[in-house]
Amino acid sequence: MSWMIWGGAALSVLGLTGILWSIVTVWKAKRADLSDEELRERIKKAMPINMGALFVSVIGLMSVIMGISLG
């Protein structure tokens, strides 16, 4: 079951990368001194990526746990 552990770890890293990207994007938008509407628009664009990355990360972590449990 080592393939499940390594695959899950790769998914978790991919999800973490997406989460970090959305954090940096929103942080830059807040520091850009935008109007309220422009800031909301940028946050709306980053939100689906954030949620998708969180989902991928959770699936990866579950895969790692399953691989450890079954292996």
Residue 33's φ and ψ, nearest 5 degrees, are: 60, 50
How high is the pLDDT of residue 2? 92
Query: 61: domain range?
Result: 2-70
Q: Is 8 exposed, middle or buried (0-12, 13-18, 19+ CB in 10 A)?
A: buried
Averaged pLDDT for residues 25-52: 94
Averaged pLDDT for residues 26-54: 94
pLDDT band at 66; cut points 50, 70, 90: very high
Total domains in the chain come to 1
